Structure 1
């Protein structure tokens, strides 16, 4: 990865470029998903610069590795904003990292472009949220599974804000629809094999219809592996997730994951010219075997949206750039991408995918159009969802 960064940063003259910060971990517990964020960001910046940059100036990235540690995210953000004089950051993946960076961003009046799905219930004028809010993935997943007979749910997650809040939302929805929660379990982000194996055995005893997992990083991957190895058939009792994507499936072994379900706004199997162009470009740049997932696509698309906003604003001034970002759009691999002026979150198209025997995801449901983001869940109820 260092060679990627070196090539990206070469031949820049600081006074003639648009300097931006890149803050994704390439080591630590979330290295897999955040490296995909990083590669998507790299690809978009290279495409923009190869096309002549923005207003005749190249984008110059300054990238740091926070090593998946919230304290390091804050320290790196301070370095970029205060020492480097940068005002625009692309970065953070987990909500704990975003929360760590947010006070620094707001104090310095910088602008964070955050492309990860998250638990909602947040707004900052200093953040552009291009990942899915709960009304763009969680509600659709719940509606689909409940309609198809999955009434007993087992909730398992990592012990930090995103899993706890996501499980709170899911519990509310399931119980409102007369479903049952068999248990709610949390584990540290460095949970060991024994802890996860005991969780699988508890699931076998509880006999839920579906397991909703918000485990992240290595424990999430190991949980999927143990689930099948310890005797639970995903085709009968699937794990449903918002985060398990193509890259981690390949590390686990796709054959062990056949039948599991993910709700997301992007899968690499989307059939569209924009997505085919993106997948081809990504694999040319990073290798034909490189997995392409929601992590890479979200990071890629937000950089292109940023470029269009910068073209309009002509400045990295936060207020000017935010206003311009609300006025532009981008035909992303996931579909038409624009921001909502009410909350600076993206309109996105929810989809549900099932791991197929051939690898990757078969899309088994998708919304007919993009959905207005509602991070505080004020507008949408289960009756508003159309899930065939």
Structure 2
């Protein structure tokens, strides 16, 4: 009887393995290639940032292929241009998933582009690796989020600004869309919890370049610090107008949740010097692994002055998390990769990253940097270990009470 039970168990196991192999074969193509989509903006207003994300993704793929591939299989990237347009992202992700039959898509920078891709990814049960820091408030079983969420940028930031810098009156300013407003929700709660106050909360449209009246409003508000959720080209206009009106970063510093090395390079170090940003990754991280990463990236792009930044590093590290999931399970179906990536950890240029089993977001180490005139950040505060991602922290989510888990979103808690 025991022999029969063991035989039945072995037959079931063999059937399961065969089923996975048949499913996987749909995603393994000629010459043992795994097709993946790489979808970032190569043209349009966002290309200045997104080209670096595409380069970092392609570099990681090239490195893995040169090392022998994933379980002996070569990754074949299909590069598409989102053209800084959500509609184009929707069209291109449809092509990648339906016609090209890719196993995974690496892509997206803005929340608008992610939201445009999401219906296709979810309906077709495919998988998206999204690398950008974002506002949270999402619980998808088809997206692995390798950028930070608000609690990984603000829970360390606001206490530092209040308790270490002694700032008590915040003026919150942002671009007029979902990310800045969700970040403001979390920030206001933390500002009040730390015994400070916010004296302004104002927004201008994406791409807005006339910041004169807004900066005057900040000057007249009595604020002693600005929490900036301004994004894109507007960052350059905002910081320069700040200086043009004679506001010193020493007196009223800008503390940003967005400004990275790439924006500072475009802005000019002297305009950013003295301001702050909170991110899990900065080019200034002083480790052998990060220094080697910077050298490889500059060699790959053939640009000795190319800068690395958080979203770019998350794009690069996401490919390695993906590869580790396939190596762990041997399954190259989107659902198989998704299940295998849960709990996967990887040492990256930013430190240890681990994909949450519950919400497919990533644990990472919060840091704060003050920008210097050479365009690099000086890291002034750093956590000792990675922090769990809480995409619903704006709505009261804690590590002890998760809203997004493997079983889905518990909307009753919202």
State TM-score, norm by structure 2: 0.85
SS in 1 for 2:128: strand
Aligned to 2:373: 357
Retained in 1: the 8 A contact 2:170–2:199?
A: yes
Match of 2:260 among 245, 249, 254: 245
- Could you tell me which of 128, 150, 153 is aligned with 2:170? 153
Tell me, in whole angstroms, the C-alpha distance in 2 between the residues paired with 1:103 and 1:249: 34
Matched residue, 2:81 = 65
How far apart are the structure 2 equivalents of 1:163 and 1:56?
A: 43
Do 2:325 and 2:337's aligned partners in 1 also have CA atoms closer than 8 Å?
yes
Matches within 5 A, 1:55-204: 55-147=71-163, 148-191=165-208, 193-194=209-210, 196-204=211-219
The secondary structure found in structure 2 opposite 1:251 is: helix
Cα shift at 1:319: 2.1
Q: 1:31 aligns with which of 47, 63, 69?
A: 47
Are residues 59 and 217 of structure 1, via their aligned partners in 2, closer, same or farther at CA, if it must alter by over 3 Å?
Answer: same
Which of structures 1 and 2 has the bigger CA Rg?
2
Cα shift readout 1:262-300 (whole Å, capped 9, x = no counterpart):
000001111112111101111111111111111221111
TM-score, reference length from structure 1: 0.91
The count of residues paired between Structure 1 and Structure 2 equals: 368
Q: 2:251 aligns with which of 228, 236, 256?
A: 236
CA distance in 1, matches of 2:43, 2:185: 30
Is the contact made by 1:92 and 1:114 (CA closer than 8 Å) also made in structure 2? yes
Task: Point out where structure 1 has 5 or more consecutive residues left out of the alignment.
Answer: 1-12, 382-388
In the TM superposition, what is the alpha-carbon distance from 1:121 to its structure 2 partner? 2.1
Is the contact made by 2:159 and 2:194 (CA closer than 8 Å) also made in structure 1?
no
Q: 1:141-172: CA deviations, max 9, x gaps?
A: 11111113211111111111111111121122
Q: CA RMSD in A?
A: 1.8
Which sections of structure 2, spanning at least 5 residues, go unmatched? 1-28, 401-414
> Which of 306, 329, 337 matches 1:313?
329
Deviation at 1:312?
A: 2.2
Distance in structure 1 (CA, Å) of the matches to 2:399 and 2:249: 30
